[in-house]
Amino acid sequence: MATSAAPTYLTPEEYITLERKAIPDAETVRSEYVRGKIIAMSGASRAHNLITVNISAMLHVSLKGQRCETYANEMRVSTPSTSSYFYPDVVVVCEEPRFEDDVFDILLNPIILVEVLSPSTEAYDRGEKFMHYRELPSLQEYILVAQDKICVERFSRQENNWILTDFQNIEEHLPLISVQCELPLREIYDRVTFPE
């Protein structure tokens, strides 16, 4: 999702209160929170939405019967060590989900996070956001998906290192080792058209 920085600084508690009040209001823009700074999120493109729904739907079906849950767009993830909050495009948690409080809208232990890239967020998703995500001990795989071409990147945690594997052929499958399933790129990009 596209982001734009706003020069507003709040405490984590002020941010959460503001976000929770905004949820019922369809006209309010969601925002992420990075060390006191509010980052407003703008709407997503058709391709972004299709890719997000495709991945979420495949994961939901593939993980049925396992102790895993899949969320799309609206589940906030906290990185407590950096006092930051994010809205990944797709989140997978396995075993017992742990939440920040009894409202159950801030997840602490995702195993997989997926971000669909756009021109305005690509550097942020690859850089600062990934730096925060790496602080989550539960996180095993971070997936970046291009929306303007066939390109899926999987960062897998191996001890203290993150190993990159990329997939650029529509006939390939994205293996998600942490949950023992594969997602066909053809299905990830179903109904997505690319610029000439």
Tens-level pLDDT at each residue, the chain (196 residues): 445 444 568 899 999 988 888 755 545 567 899 988 888 887 789 999 999 999 999 999 999 999 999 999 889 999 999 999 999 999 999 989 999 999 999 999 999 999 999 988 899 999 999 999 999 999 999 999 999 999 999 999 999 899 999 999 999 999 999 999 999 999 999 999 998 7
Token pair recorded at residue 137: 């001990």
Q: What is the pLDDT of residue 107?
A: 98
Q: What is the pLDDT of residue 10?
A: 87
Can you tell me which residue has the tokens 């507003």?
8
What does each C-alpha distance from 154 to 104, 173, 195 come to in angstroms?
A: 28, 11, 23
The Cα–Cα gap between 130 and 125 comes to 6
The Cα–Cα gap between 94 and 99 comes to 13
Token pair recorded at residue 116: 């669909």
Q: What is the pLDDT of residue 24?
A: 55
